[in-house]
Amino acid sequence: MKSICESNGYVEQFVLGEGELRFAVKDTLDIAGYRTRAGCQALAAAPIARHHASVVETLLDKRCVLTGKTTLHELAFGVTGINAWSGTPVNPHFPQLIPGGSSSGSAAVVASGEVDFSLGTDTGGSVRMPAACCGVLGFKPGYGVLSRKGVLPEHSSLDCVGIFARDAKVLRQVAHHLSMPESLPLTALPEVAFVAAAIPEIDALILKHLEQRGLRPRHSTLSMLADAHRAGLTIISHENWQAFHPLLSSDEVSPDVASRIRAGKDVEPAALADAERVRSEFTAQVDALLEQSPLLALATLPELPPTLEEADDPLSVVNLTRLVRPFNLSGHPALTLPIGEIRGRPVALQLVAAKGGEGLLIQAAQWFEQQRRRH
């Protein structure tokens, strides 16, 4: 396996602001006075940012304390979090396993307790996946709910700024600071639709977890889930070619990421049109399911997180996004929370709500935490 430079999750540490809640941000978000390098040597000499990203500015105005920038899978284009240039964060609770990508450092610094919360970005599961690998909460609001001003890449039809936290109370505070929709506390969880889509061991553990909390989920299907995953891959490939192909002339992009960026050049207009058709039809399918049940439950990862050695070939693990990427395509808010382990590897539950249902997801996370304490 290639040599890996280990990291505590940070690429730069500093202190900005005064207050109680401490946070860190993925190095795809601008911080005034610092370079936005996205874990890529080709951006090592990028211009120094003149302004904070909009979400960072808001949090600083709300008296949150920024402690630094975190590493990531290079150019946020990968699922393992392995980065030989800016460092691969050690997964705090599962050090043999990948920290997950692309927002690996943001997940690691929350899991280690170094900050109260962190910001990442989620284009194809890049908040929910590392949260699942590191055993913390990962929240992707609906597309467009949080501003992407000052976020790399500048243009994306999939990417959302997302939040990591260890507990739902902090997540709720952050959401409030960012003026996200809120909901009243839940005394009981509304009806849940369950989609079996992971390996049998994971689905069985999720069902047991739900049933132990008095839930009887309605078994449902999303027939276009695989199509939506493939369509999401087509669109991100095209959009990342548009965003990053100028960097390839420097030969400072790692070979695996460079090859995936180049692949985007060959995405034909017909393939894009078909992906957009799938986006529309899958979105309608999810909307229809959520009209019947306010919450959709399924596994965050279809398989157990791999070890660093097992993930040596980045292309071999892209399938790990097949249950998270579809909801970037559809734009629905989604949240992941840890529920247990199988053979020493973490398992996480993903909840999806209707558009505008960010508050419901956060209250559902708080409800699950309360139930866990009672059990």
Distances (CA, A) of 108 to 35, 98, 148, 339, 373: 21, 10, 23, 18, 24
- Residues 217 and 210 sit within 8 Å (Cβ to Cβ): yes
Give 40's Cβ-side CA count (13 Å radius): 26
Q: Which of 54, 112, 126, 254 is catalytic?
A: 126
Q: Where are the beta strands (DSSP E) in the chain?
A: 6-7, 10-16, 22-26, 65-70, 88-89, 117-122, 137-140, 160-165, 192-195, 218-220, 295-299, 334-342, 345-353
26 in catalytic set: yes
156 in catalytic set: no
Q: Which amino acid appears at position 38 of this protein? A: A
Q: Which of 26, 69, 140, 355 is catalytic?
A: 26
- 335 forms beta bridges with 139, 351
Q: Counting every residue, how long is the chain?
A: 375
Asked if residue 200 has a cis previous peptide bond (ω within 30° of 0), the answer is no
Distances (CA, A) of 283 to 164, 193, 205, 220, 328: 25, 16, 27, 16, 10
3-state helix, strand and coil shares in percent for the chain, rounded to the nearest 5: 40, 20, 40
Tokens matching residue 58: 């808001």
Q: Which of 7, 54, 86, 102 is catalytic?
A: 102
Q: List active site positions.
A: 26, 102, 126
